[in-house]
Amino acid sequence: MYGHEAARRRLAEAVVNQRLPQTLLLEGPAGVGKQRLALWLAQLLVCERPRPGDPCGECQRCTLALKLSHPDIHWFVPFELGARSADAERQVDLAEEALGEIMAARREDSLYEPPGGMAAHPMASVRLLLRRLALTPAMGGARVFILGDAERLRPQTGLETAANALLKALEEPPPHLHFILTAADTAALLPTILSRAVRMRVPRVPDSVVTAFAQERLERDISHDPMVISGAAGCIGRLVAYGSSATGSAAGRRFLDGARRGRVEQLSAALAQPPFEARGAFTELLDGLLEHLRAEARAGGSPQATVAAIARVLELRTLARGNVNPQLLAAVLGEAVTTASGERQ
């Protein structure tokens, strides 16, 4: 864990005094460390010999929790379900396989990027969660269900029964069971979920903590670049994305240069974007484009149109999560960056 000392103290006190809500919603900006904090809390809840304010980190349960292998800690994250099946039970099995692959990858590398634009918590995940709720504790003590990026829990017409069952579980969890939800965009959460959770804000961490993380954990040392550190805005997850975003940065630069050569180049750049099934690459391009536009805004000149272009990129990044063609978004984006270029000149 890096930072969040005050939040950890508050949560630890709630655990000691048996006042921890059974359904907790950790909310805060993307990349601030909400899911890492949720995992820390889950480890504290299952720890055999907790220290004042911290899990021991040495007992068998802590060791399993740190390896993402504790049988009573269930971490659900958004994903894109590739294979499809008309059989509901088969869909649940496919969801379990997909989540298993994600967890295996995170055991190998604990630094992971945000989910792609099409990733969601499908109804198969809800059914998997309900299936696991029915299990008895494998090691005794607490059971913890973490639902990361809970705003991507999307209801599906005709499958309300499973969703209602999940809401019932959130409202009245069995004894010794805790739900920890995380969300960056609480406005996108179902009101019925918000009404059943106790909300806790996860604040940004100081730049000193971001710098320490960069020095200790990133292969590429960017701790001496003040623009990168300040650009993270207290969210370590943004550093992780930056540290692995060379592809997105290069794509953003190519798009920017091409779009500013004229309308034909704009349309060519738009048509070159991957279609629906590759929106992750388009999101990387948008992130790289943001990086370059922000650098231009800092460089001076007339920033009004550049700031407007940044706002448009952020807007399109949100739209890219939905059922929108990246090529159409890129065509709109080309006009925005060209306007920014024209005003600056």
Domain stops at, among 203, 225, 259: 203
What is the domain range of residue 174?
5-203
The verdict on residue 136 lying in a domain is yes
Q: Is residue 216 part of a domain?
A: no
Q: Each residue of 60-89: pLDDT tens digit?
A: 999 999 999 999 999 999 988 766 667 878
156 and 304 in a single domain? The answer is no
For residue 278, name the pLDDT band (cuts at 50, 70, 90): very low
The reply to whether the predicted model has a pTM over 0.85 is no
Give the CB-side neighbour count of residue 98, counting CA atoms within 13 A: 22
Q: Which of these three, 171, 203, 235, is where a domain ends? A: 203
Please, what is the average pLDDT of the chain?
82
| Whether 195 and 288 share a structural domain | no
- Is 219 part of a structural domain of the chain? no
- Partners of residue 155 on adjacent β-strands: none
Does 270 lie in the same domain as 197?
no
**Do 129 and 187 have their domain in common?**
yes
Has residue 217 been placed in a domain? no
Residue 62 in any domain: the answer is: yes
Q: Judge whether 41 lies within some domain.
A: yes
197 is a domain residue: yes
Cα 222 to its chain centre, rounded Å, is 22
C-alpha span between 87 and 93 (Å, rounded): 10
Q: Would 221 be classed as within a structural domain? A: no
pLDDT value of position 321: 61
In this structure, which amino acid lies at residue 92? Answer: V
User: Residues 91-113, buried b or exposed e (16+ Cβ, 10 A)?
Assistant: bbebbbebbeebeeeeeeeebeb
Is the pLDDT score of 46 beyond 80? yes
Listed ranges 50-54, 70-74, 136-140, 214-218; the one with the highest mean pLDDT: 70-74
- What is the average pLDDT across 21-31? 93
pLDDT, residue 209, reads 92
Using CA atoms of 89, 93, 95, 101 in order, give the dihedral in degrees to the nearest 10.
180
Could you tell me if 290 and 187 lie in one domain? Answer: no
Whether the pLDDT of residue 148 is over 60: the answer is: yes
Side chain identity, residue 35: Q
CA distances from 240 to 72, 144, 197, 203 (A): 28, 26, 29, 18
Query: How many domains, the chain?
Result: 2
How much is the pLDDT for 70?
Answer: 97
